[in-house]
Amino acid sequence: MRPISTRARALTAAAAVSALAGAGAVAIATDASAAAGCRVDYAVNQWSTGFTGNVTVTNLGDPISGGWNVTWAFPGNQTITQGWSATITQSGQNVTATNPSWSASLGTNATANFGFNANYSGTNTAPSTFKLNGVACTGTVPNSPPPSSPSSPPPSSPSSSPSTSPSVPTDPGTKVDNPYANAKGYVNPEWKAKADAEPGGSRVSNNPTAVWLDRIAAIAGTDSSSSNGSMGLRDHLDAALAQGAGYIQLVIYNLPGRDCAALASNGELGPDDLPRYKSEYIDPIAAIEGDAKYKNLRIINIVEIDSLPNLVTNTSGQAGGTAMCDTMKANGGYVQGIGYALNKLGAIGNVYNYVDAAHHGWIGWDSNFGPTADIMLQAAKASGNVNNVTGFITNTANYSALQEPYIQPTVTVGGQNIRQSKWIDWNQYTDELTFAQAFRTKLVSIGFNSNIGMLIDTSRNGWGGSARPTKASTSTDINTYVNESRIDRRIHAGNWCNQAGAGLGERPKAAPASGIDAYVWVKPPGESDGSSSLIPNDEGKGFDRMCDPTYTGNARNGNSMSGALPNAPISGAWFSAQFQQLMANAYPPLS
C-alpha cells in the first residue's frame, strides 16, 4: 500500500552536480551530448570521503546478445574500491563496467543495474558522459528528437533512484494499494504434497504459503523431477501462472551474517559477503521477478527476517548481545543489504516489498519500539526511496497470539497493573494485532507513507485446544491471573523454536482489520524452526540450544526452559510431529 509517482527519467549533468553538494544526497545524471540509443541513470549516496554509486542502463536501441559494457570518465579523483552486478575496472579516470555472466543480453527497452563503492576527496562531481558498447547515452532513440531543448532542461528527479530490474521496464502504474485484495494466493505444490501426506492434512493444504529463498541455490532449485529435487524461483512463478494465482509470496532471506543472535537460522554468507549477496543473490532474483512473463502476477517479497531488530536489541550492552550482531551493526551489512534489495526489487512494477518488523514480545518495550522503527527508516532510505517499501510484517515464523482478550496492558488486578507480571514484564503490548497497528502508526510518524500496510503471520499462533482460556482468571495475584488468562501458552514470550502446544492460527485473509493488509502463512506449517540437537548439513544451519527441549534458557528468555518440541530436524525441513500438533490445536478449529 503506497502512493505511486513516476520519477523523472534524466537530469542534466549540471543539475546532478548541484544535487551532489550535500552529504547523502541522491542524484541522477544522463549525458546530453549527441543522439544515442541508450539512457543511463546514475545515483550516489555519499559521505565525507566516500560514496556508493548505483548505475542503471536502459538499451533504447537494437537488442544486445553478445555482452555489454558501460564506460565513463570521472571528472575528479574518484577511485572505485568494490563493485557488484558487473565486472568493474578503472584506469586513471576511465571506468569500464562489463556485464556479469548471467546477464549478457540486453533487449530493446531492457535495463541492467550495477553498483560500486568508491573513495574521493574534494568535490564528488558526477560523470557527464556514459556510453553503452561505445555509443553515447543521451536518453533518446537514434534519429528521434531530444526530450527537451537546451533552453528547457528536463525536470529534476525526486531524491530517489530505484533501480530497474533486468529484462523489463519499470511500470509503477501497475501497483495496487493492497496486493492481497481480490486475489487468489499461490499454493506451493511442494508444501501441499507434504501436508496432504499427513493424516488430515488436506484440510489445510490448499492455503497459500510463502516460498523461502534462504540460500543462493534455492533460486535455481534442483532437479524437481527427482525425489530429492526442489523447485526454483522460476518453477514457482510458472506454477503460480498455471494455477491462475493473483499473488505469490517469497521470503528474501540470505543476508551476510544472517540472524546474528541465533544459530539455527544462520546462513551461507559470512559477515563480509555483502558483494556476493548483491551479485549472486539479489540480482538474479530481480532478473527473474522482472521477467515480463510475470507482469500480471503480484510478487510479494518478505524481506530479511529477524535482521534489523537484532541491531537494536542484540548488540553490546543488551542482555544476550552477540559479537556477530556488533559486527553487522558496525559494517552496515544489514542496512545496506536490505537497502539494495528494496531498491532492486521495488523498481519492478508488479513487486511489493514487506520488511520484517519482529513481534511484540521482541520490540514492544519503549526502549526497543522507537529505535527499531528508526532503523527500518534507515534501511528504506538506503534503498533511495521509502516508496520501495509497501509495508511491514510482524510475527514471522513466531507464535505470538493474534489477540489477547483478557490480558490487555490496561487491566489491573488487586490494585496492580498486570504489566508488572513476570510474563508481560512491563511490555506495552500483549498481542500482535494491537502491536502491528501501533507500530504502523509509529512508522508513518517518522516518514513512511501514510498508507503502508501491515501483515501478520498467523501460521502458528492459534493456541487452540483444551489449554486455551475461555474467560479471564478470577485470581487476585497478577502472575496467576496472567498465566491463567493468556492465550499464548509459551513458557516465555521470548521462546521461538518449535513451541510445544502451538496451533494453526487464522487462515490467510486479506484486509482483516484496520491497517492490516492480510493475515498470512509465511512460515509454512510443518517446517521446523531448527534441530533439537546438532545435525551436520550443507546449508549453513547451526544448532541453537533454544531448539533443545532440555535447555534451561538464557538472558534473552529470562533463563526459562525453551519449550521446544523434541526430535526436530534442521530449520526448513519437514517436522511431522509439529504439523500434527498444529492441526490438533488450531484456532479457529479445523472441521
Q: Where in the sequence numbering do the catalytic residues fall?
A: 259
Strand 298-303 vs strand 135-136: parallel, antiparallel, or unpaired? unpaired
Q: Which residues, in sequence order, are CB contacts of 166 under 8 Å at separation 6+?
A: 103, 106, 110, 111, 112, 113, 283, 286, 287, 290
Q: Is the dihedral of CA 472, 475, 481, 486 positive or negative?
A: negative
Angle, alpha carbons 381-386-391 (nearest 5°): 125
Are residues 127 and 29 in contact, defined by beta-carbon separation less than 8 angstroms? yes
Instruction: Cell numbers for 212, please give them.
Output: 523461502
Count the residues in the chain. Answer: 591
Strand 351-356 vs strand 298-303: parallel, antiparallel, or unpaired? parallel
DSSP 416-473: EEGGGSTTTTT-S-SSHHHHHHHHHHHHHHTTS-TT-EEEEE-TT----STTS-SS--
Render the burial of 15-25: b for 16+ CB within 10 Å, e for the rest. bbbebbeeeeb
Name residue 114's amino acid. Answer: F
For 200, list phi and psi in degrees, rounded to 5: 80, 0
Are residues 70 and 129 in contact, defined by beta-carbon separation less than 8 angstroms? no
* Cα–Cα distance measured from residue 136 to residue 27, given in angstroms and rounded to the nearest whole number: 20
* Cα–Cα distance measured from residue 508 to residue 355, given in angstroms and rounded to the nearest whole number: 18
Are residues 54 and 38 in contact, defined by beta-carbon separation less than 8 angstroms? no
